[in-house]
Chains A and B, each alone.
Chain A
Amino acid sequence: MRRFFLIAVPYIWLLALFLVPFLIVLKISLSDTALAIPPYTPQLDFGAGWDGIRNFFAALDFENFTFLTEDALYWKAYLSSLKIAAVSTFFTLLVGYPIAYAMANARIEWRPTLMMLIILPFWTSFLIRVYSWMGILSQEGYLNQFLMSLGLISEPLIILNTNWAVYIGIVYTYLPFMILPIYAALEKLDGALIEAAEDLGCSRLSAFWLVTFPLSKGGVIAGCFLVFIPALGEFVIPSLLGGSDTLMIGKVLWEEFFSNRDWPVASAVAVVLLLLLIVPIILFQRNEQKAREADQ
């Protein structure tokens, strides 16, 4: 009885507040827009009995999804989300790997402090961290002031409200997600392997490419997914740092819902976004599974 209670409480909570809402999204994505409250049809009418239910299902269709394929905006938004997520994941790797490498090679008594300093930004507001770049990247911002005072540029660079600002924002906010798994992989690495490679004729650089990097691949893949997956559905960064031409699907969904009040289309956008995410999520889980097996 007690066990039943223990299972039932969180189970019912999640069913009611996670699964059911998601099914509602799915259902509304198959409905039509209407000028009503709530602004979609059909409504499930239990009062009408079986006929009501039959009519309800008969009225569902894939119209919204067809609409998504017809309107170039959505196509472009999906593709551009994928591109922005992929490019920023690549940059995050480029920035994060050397930091993780240096941390793993730092003196052992320094490592916990370095770890804490990497994690600390996690606890500060995401919104504030994104916001802090607005002042840096704007046309009269600190970066332009700095570069112009050095005489490196004569005209201010336009970074804010471009995709570049979005890349920087994603790299900045998701950097710890990249560093931590790579650091974990590198820290486990047996130093004797590098010595063995050098002993067998490798220079330091070739020992890195032939031994260190392949052995940290698991961490690199995990880090890339941990950045790519949330970046794909990102909303705050493109809306604060991106320009009006920065298309990301999270932003489109938000606008579809709040500005256009087109709930069915917003729901359809959500369903497609989720479909897009399924592939990387499954790949990520495979990678984790493999890492766990390798550990045993």
Chain B
Amino acid sequence: MAQNVFAPWDDPTETPLIQFKGVTKRFGDFVAIDNLTQDIYAREFFALLGPSGCGKTTMMRMLAGFEAPSEGQILIAGTDMAHVPPNLRAVNMMFQSYALFPHLSVWDNIAFGLKRERHTKDAVSARVEEMLKLTRLEKFAKRKPHQISGGQRQRVALARSLAKAPKLLLLDEPLGALDKKLRQDTQFELMDIQEKTGTTFVIVTHDQEEAMTVASRVAVMDEGRIMQVSTPAQIYEAPNSVYVADFIGDVNIIEGTASPSVNGYEVRWAEGHAPLVAKASQVLREGQRISLAIRPEKVSISAEKPENSVNAIEGKIIDIAYLGNLSTYHVEVAGGIMVKAQTANTRRLSRRELTWEDKVWLNWTDTAAVVLEQ
């Protein structure tokens, strides 16, 4: 079973397609990328995720050849790309604005890159037809970019960048300009096309949901550094820092001091309250300051104090956000800390057990919280 899972990064015999080796990029005094080392493997769908200004776009532009690293090396398929201009790289890019040539038809836009290579006319048109079919654009071949919808433009941009069958496709916020519904459909389409063509995709996005949906691995970036690289599930379930935990999804952070106990660690978090119990993958010193990260959906809420629960704390409901499928309770606990608890609304809300100002109990298991060192 384990052999069927696509995880080349766990396989020491695999050679990476892309290698960043100690890459630093400075713009004047500003350090956009700070001594970054990272491998990306063939056929990966690799997401660079982070807020604007975190360096993700710079990383992508260095791969495309529009920026050169100030220090370090970038290798693609083992070759140092330092002196290879963008037009000679087997790398294509899908631009955030799509950058479709407004004076050319959809067909000519897709053929643009092919015509730069010495293909026969027939070969070019065969490839363009293939791309039109792949992206379901056959009907729009003769239109100009301003005569088609946003979603269609996005597909033209994708077809154009895939037409040359690049080893590596870079996607810069590819779905940023689409509305939410269309974006979700397009995400699956992207994954489908990636699988069909077997191309390595590197996607830049600030939308964590998008990164989690499409990527085989996600790199969370901040201030020119990669904070964590892992599969979407790992990133969510086992973030390695408060930054990552907070950036991906919703999280409760409770700070405290750890001390080893029989069942993992006891965490003292508030004067005069029972310590919280948590399992940790790392070894902690006695009295070490740590943060507990607990996802709201892992926190149960009840009116009575639950029995046999390792972590149970009392609080008062301040706010209730009803989201249809879910309800989120904002509960104030000792020391004024706000803890969010999420419950699925599997039953109709005929009677609401809990309401504002109610005293409630929150509880979670000892494996629900992730221990993060500070």
Residues of A within 8 A of B (CB): 190, 192-193, 195-203, 206, 210-211, 214-215, 217
**Contact, CB under 8 Å: B85 / A199:** no
* Residues of B near any A CB (own CB < 8 A): 64-66, 85-88, 91-93, 95-97, 99, 101-103, 112-113, 116-117, 160-161, 164
- CB nearest to A296 among chain B residues: B146
- The listed residue (A196, A203, A210, A217) touching B99 by CB distance below 8 A is A196
Known: A200-B112, A201-B116, A206-B116. Is A193-B87 also a contact (CB below 8 A)?
no
Q: Are A199 and B103 in contact (CB under 8 A)?
A: no
Q: Is the CB of B85 within 8 A of A198?
A: yes
A279 to B325, CA, bound (A): 68
Determine the chain B residues whose CB is within 8 A of the CB of A196 once the complex forms: 93, 95, 99, 101
State A197–B66 Cα separation when bound (angstroms). Answer: 12
| Shortest Cβ gap from B82 to chain A (Å) | 17
A185 to chain B, nearest CB (A): 12
Task: Give the 8 A-B residue pairs with the shortest CB-CB distance, closest first.
Answer: A200-B113, A201-B116, A196-B99, A192-B99, A198-B86, A192-B95, A199-B93, A201-B87
Contact between A197 and B112, CB atoms less than 8 A apart: yes
Complex: A202 Cα to B65 Cα, angstroms: 13
Distance in Å: Cβ of B151 to nearest Cβ of chain A: 19
A195-B87 CB under 8 A given contacts A201-B117, A206-B116, A215-B103: no
User: In the complex, what distance in Å separates the CA atom of A143 from the CA atom of B86?
Assistant: 45
Q: Chain B residues near A192 (CB, 8 Å)?
A: 95-97, 99
A191's nearest neighbour on chain B, judged by CB, is B99
- Starting from the known contacts A190-B99, A197-B112, 20 additional A-B residue pairs (CB-CB under 8 Å) come to A190-B97, A192-B99, A195-B64, A195-B95, A195-B99, A197-B101, A198-B85, A198-B86, A199-B91, A199-B92, A199-B93, A200-B113, A200-B161, A201-B87, A201-B88, A201-B117, A201-B164, A202-B87, A214-B103, A215-B102
Which residues of the partner chain A approach B160 to less than 8 Å between Cβ atoms? Answer: 200
Measured between beta carbons, the chain A residues less than 8 angstroms from B66 are 195, 198
Give the Cβ gap from A196 to chain B, nearest Cβ, in Å.
Answer: 4
* Cα(A200)–Cα(B65), bound, Å: 12
- Shortest beta-carbon distance from B128 to chain A in Å: 13
Q: CA of A217 to CA of B102 in the docked complex: distance in angstroms?
A: 12
Instruction: Determine the chain B residues whose CB is within 8 A of the CB of A198 once the complex forms.
Output: 65-66, 85-87
In the assembled complex, how far is the CB of residue A193 from the closest CB belonging to chain B, in whole angstroms?
5
Which of A190, A201, A202 has the largest number of chain B CB atoms within 10 A?
Answer: A201
Cα A188 to Cα B169 in complex, Å, equals 28
Give A215 to B92 CA distance when docked, in angstroms.
22
A190 to B87, CA, bound (A): 18
Q: Shortest Cβ distance from A224 into chain B, in angstroms? A: 18
Say yes or no: A201 contacts B101, CB within 8 Å.
no
Q: How far is the CB of B52 from the nearest CB of chain A, in Å? A: 17
Cβ-closest chain A residue relative to B157: A196
The residue on A at minimum CB distance from B92 is A199
- State in angstroms the CA–CA spacing of A29 and B87 once bound together: 63
Q: Is B99 a contact of A193 with CB atoms below 8 Å?
A: yes
A-B contact pairs, 29 of them (CB 8 A): A190-B97, A190-B99, A192-B95, A192-B96, A195-B66, A195-B95, A196-B93, A196-B95, A196-B99, A196-B101, A198-B66, A198-B86, A198-B87, A199-B64, A199-B86, A199-B87, A199-B92, A199-B161, A200-B87, A200-B161, A201-B88, A201-B113, A202-B116, A203-B87, A206-B116, A211-B101, A215-B101, A215-B102, A217-B103
